[in-house]
A and B are shown apart, each in its own frame.
Chain A
């Protein structure tokens, strides 16, 4: 027993070191940085101040970014859930020989980079893009629609890119259900809709919460897709941090934004573990 404990520690050492160096250290760094004073000359001055948070929460520019980020994260989660649930349900229930192929198609986007997929959407949604060309060719519009650089464009691309993160937890929750549960509900007098609402849906709750928590936190921290699809017009927290760190060089403010983002994400994860992990059986 003692030996297994020692081996256990040995096996966990590399990952523990990586986490310590790559996660705990930088997070501690920006936690501290977020209460330092900004200086154009020295980057930061180590005196404790609340002015970064005051700016962040006080200025309407920053408040709008926070609100937009939360809104897009929420809508992306809802969108992924709406599109992902039927897909996950079908994958979990089908006996078709195509199931394996469909599973692969769901995973496939994860194997191409996020930039490749985002550029795909730019090609489709740009003012000279496929969608506008088709609509003009059909004579439905005279001037190209502005789709790119709108919240809608960011939302569409994020839903597409993050869909697998919703589908897999849902699939696991649905595929793990005993098919006799739905059969039992039918024999007791429940039709398809009642069976879904009374049995299938409540039992897939862990998958819904897990998928939503994943998509929400990934959206809230997204940088590349909002930057490429939304540009300056659809600023989100991820881009703000990037710009403050790399161009404006206001690290204390960037740290405060990052702190806020991590706080949001931790809250979501906490809610997930409190609500989602309540044992049902």
Chain B
């Protein structure tokens, strides 16, 4: 495993009597793209500002390697920050904006011009040195902000929702460009976003924040497949959550009796769940197969199509099982699925279901 280069240890920030964030424990590894994901007000920008030194935590420590930088001023931290609105200095040219950090570091004049130009080439924006930020498009400003943050060769790159002000097409392209640039430079990056697609496409690991606390940390696959909490399950992707109680456990496989009736064999790796624990059975909508004939061998639930929504590449269904459960299911836009109209009788085969703790029951 790569070395940890930055670590937040039990960081707490209060605004008056109300809690901003905390306690938050996060580690950033060498060369890693780490995303702080969460709804607005979850404390992700506050956490980023604490890393940058723009906010001072009330409790806890910020460690850069073995060095405690909790009380270090931002100008001595060597962190490159890209702000949501880019925060380019409107009265300075692109050249002076990008050169700013180098000048503050006392880089020799002769060296500055070349480094600025090389960095502008790297972000794919050559030849705009003489322009003012006001004369650039949103996408160009974003690249200048990136160049300004990177030219100082920071230890960590901090990105605060840098893509949220771009239009949809540009945003998708910048995701790929940004990720590629980050990998090429091998720079540890903390990325803040409320957009789950962005987080999943770009990140090595995702820290899911909710109400100022860390809900779950993991790779995008881990967060999608095994959400630790109801919030994680519902914030990330579409999901079916069925209330139940653990009936029996066999290793990582547990049998769950649902409240509505019926037993599911769910998978719960790495969770110590015991008989009698309240749980949710989680089923992702694309992991339900629909067939019209009763299948042999597989466990299948008889159900009726309640609603069908055509969304181009996929078709989503609302099913009511004979137990009375409402299930959401999504299938590729193929003729066999498009033919299933409301009222059609189907068999739902659950390909993969997971169990996660419910109502503060012991988890993880």
B85, A180: Cβ atoms under 8 Å? yes
A203, B81: Cβ atoms under 8 Å? no
Closest CB pairs A-B (n = 8): A189-B104, A281-B90, A188-B101, A180-B87, A184-B87, A281-B134, A186-B74, A187-B81
Looking at the assembled complex, report how far the CB atom of B171 sits from the nearest CB atom of chain A, in whole angstroms: 20
17 sample A-B contacts, Cβ–Cβ < 8 Å, listed by A number? A178-B87, A180-B84, A181-B89, A183-B83, A184-B81, A184-B88, A186-B54, A187-B75, A187-B80, A188-B101, A188-B104, A188-B152, A189-B104, A190-B100, A191-B75, A203-B89, A279-B134
Task: Specify which of A180, A190, A191, A279 lies most central, judged by the most chain B CB atoms within 10 Å of its CB.
Answer: A180
0/1 per residue, A171-204, Cβ < 8 Å to B?
0000000101101111111110010001100110
CB neighbours of B53 from chain A (8 A): 186-187
CB neighbours of A199 from chain B (8 A): 89
Looking at the assembled complex, report how far the CB atom of A189 sits from the nearest CB atom of chain B, in whole angstroms: 3
Interface size class of B (residues with CB under 8 A): 20 to 34
Additional pairs, 14, CB under 8 Å, beyond known A194-B104, A281-B90: A178-B87, A180-B87, A181-B89, A183-B52, A184-B81, A186-B75, A187-B52, A187-B54, A187-B79, A189-B105, A191-B75, A279-B134, A280-B91, A281-B91
CB neighbours of B54 from chain A (8 A): 183, 186-187
**For the complex, what is the distance from the CA of A202 to the CA of B132, rounded to whole Å?**
15
Within the complex, which residue of A181, A183, A188 is in contact with B148, where a contact is CB–CB below 8 Å?
A188
CB neighbours of B101 from chain A (8 A): 188-189
CB neighbours of B81 from chain A (8 A): 183-184, 187
Q: How many residues of A contact B (CB 8 A)?
A: 20
Residue of A nearest to B74 (CB): A186
0/1 per residue, B81-111, Cβ < 8 Å to A?
1011101111100000000110011000000
0/1 per residue, A193-220, Cβ < 8 Å to B?
0100011001100000000000000000
A203, B152: Cβ atoms under 8 Å? no
Task: Specify which of A178, A185, A186 lies most central, judged by the most chain B CB atoms within 10 Å of its CB.
Answer: A186
CB neighbours of A178 from chain B (8 A): 85, 87
**For the complex, what is the distance from the CA of A70 to the CA of B142, rounded to whole Å?**
48
Residue of B nearest to A187 (CB): B81
Contact surface of B with A, Cβ cutoff 8 Å = 49, 52-54, 73-77, 79-81, 83-85, 87-91, 100-101, 104-105, 132-134, 148-149, 152, 158
**For the complex, what is the distance from the CA of A77 to the CA of B88, rounded to whole Å?**
31
Residues from 11 to 30 in A contacting B, C-beta threshold 8 Å: none
**For the complex, what is the distance from the CA of A180 to the CA of B81, rounded to whole Å?**
10
B100, A185: Cβ atoms under 8 Å? yes
Within the complex, which residue of A181, A190, A194, A281 is in contact with B87, where a contact is CB–CB below 8 Å?
A181
CB neighbours of A191 from chain B (8 A): 73, 75
**For the complex, what is the distance from the CA of A281 to the CA of B132, rounded to whole Å?**
7
CB neighbours of A184 from chain B (8 A): 81, 83, 87-89, 148
